[in-house]
Chain A
Amino acid sequence: MSRVLSRTGLLVGLPVVLLVTWWFASAGSKSFYQPPLETIIKVFPDTWTGARFKSDVFPSLIRLFIGYGLAVLIGITLGVLIGANRRLRSLLEPLLEFLRAIPPPVLVPILILVAGIGNPTKVLVIVVGGLWPVLLNTVEGVRGVDEVLSDTCRSYRIGGWLRLRTFVLRAASPQIVVGARQALSISIIMMVIGELLGATNGLGYTVVEFQRGFQIPEMWSGVFVLGLLGVLLSLAFTLVERRVLNWYHGARAAERSGH
């Protein structure tokens, strides 16, 4: 019992101390840009109402999920093709290395120019940001598959879809998951940037509107919402990862204890 207590104490102790410090340090704050924490929390329910969720938060989330999903799907498909073919890999590797080095946000002005500021552009912005980590990690994962297993597949004449599903994708999945994880954080960033540079609704757009309208407590509450979104999505990803890579973590643990 006392063990559970001390564990929870360690878990929530520092966050509580930090929040309390912030609360009291900012309490009588007259600074326009650093309102008291109390004020920020007070405006929160009025700012993030059901209507606001419907008009700004959900559209953002839908674009994020579509864009992220497409990035993962395209990244894995191209990654398997490139990773499995040695010549194609040598042909494309330097090019991909260069394309990856371009900071994705600088492509946003071009995309807006080409495709306007509609929903397709905002989804596209997320795809061009999230694609690279998935693609490059899949290439690495497919390249690094176990040769003995690969030969075993060949001698059992396991080919085509069955080989892809039960061997290649599975063997590469730890790497693919690493890429998908990086892609998730980049996707959130690209979602916000896409909305900052050209949008009429959305989470990022709302927060910047608050900033431009000098609604500072509302702006702070928006930053909270964006931060919370990042934290929740990363938590969700960890849960999914545990399920998908259960076998891998188990095998790794067995390997370690075997030594």
Chain B
Amino acid sequence: MTTSPLTLRRAGDSPALLGLLGIVGFAALLEILPRVGVLKAEYFPPTSKIIAALFDEFGRGGFWQAVVGTVTTWLIGLAIAVVAGIVLGIVIGSVPALRLATASTIEFLRPIPSVALLPLAIVLFSAPIRSILLLVVYASFWQVLIQVLHGVTDVDPVARETAASYRLNRWRQARYLVWPTTLPYAMTGIRLAASVALVLTITGELLIGGTKGIGEEIAVAQSSIAVPSMYALIVVSGLIGLIANLATRRAERLVLAWHPSVRRELPL
């Protein structure tokens, strides 16, 4: 396949270079369009102004507090969702009767949009951080739970019978049979949950306010119509999301280093 002339790569065709070109091109477009008047500069500040605003933010103490606040809320929410999702998932998944009895309830609760709980979260808790955490945990919990439930049922029947004939006790079965099968599923769930949790953290900060966070900074920038700062903060939220994605993918590879799906891949 690789020797066929159709698939040979020409010079200057490297994906990394093209990707960089894509980002630079996009930035250049957003610089030029407002300057020539195609987009209103009032609403679409040119890229250079956004970058200047970004560096202003970097120099501000409150900005870094907001970053730390967002990351802290995100991690707390994610941790609660992950622990609850894994524990409940393994318990429900390993008991067939429990699994059947909870199926309809899970199918009903899962699609409830998390922001529907927003007014409830606001009136139930006086501390804004707890309201935000309710949204974050509710949204990300299901991602973990569903994956773990899938994982627990995926145990190889031969391995299960082998474990039974070796008379592994319940604990050992959970440790050496169910857990290794479930872990890859759980990691997928955690990766999905991490990005959902981050979105909900920033959304909660934006809509509820009252805690230090990027979302609240955006709300403040909006009310003072500091347009370049708004764009700069949106870029920051994207960067945090990107770093979070990379970090969870990295963690997944580390935790599953023994797993065939990871072992087969070439080292990057």
Contact = CB atoms under 8 A, between A and B. Distances in A.
A101 B241 contact: yes
A105 B22 contact: no
B82 to A, nearest CB: 19
A223 B120 contact: yes
Given A196-B118, A196-B207, A197-B207, A230 B111 contact: yes
B166 interface: no
Nearest to A224: B116
Which of B101, B105, B118, B231 has the most chain A CB atoms closer than 10 A to its own CB?
B118
Size bracket of the A interface:
35 or more
B210 interface: no
Contacts of B122: 211
B117 interface: yes
Interface residues of B, number: 62
A57 to B, nearest CB: 14
Interface string B234-260: 110111111011000000000000000
Contact of B120 (A11, A110, A220, A229): A220
B18 A106 contact: no
**A interface: dominant SS:** helix
B206 A105 contact: yes
Interface of A: 10-15, 18, 33-34, 87, 90-95, 97-110, 113-114, 185, 188-189, 192-193, 196-197, 204, 207-208, 210-211, 216, 219-220, 222-223, 226-227, 229-231, 233-234
28 contacts: A10-B104, A11-B103, A14-B102, A15-B105, A90-B15, A90-B19, A93-B15, A93-B22, A94-B19, A98-B239, A100-B241, A101-B244, A102-B238, A105-B202, A105-B206, A106-B206, A106-B215, A107-B234, A109-B218, A185-B111, A185-B113, A192-B113, A196-B115, A219-B120, A222-B119, A223-B119, A230-B112, A230-B113
Interface of B: 13-15, 18-23, 25-26, 40, 43-44, 100-105, 108, 110-120, 122-124, 195, 198-199, 202-203, 206-207, 214-215, 218-219, 222, 225, 227, 230-231, 233-235, 237-242, 244-245
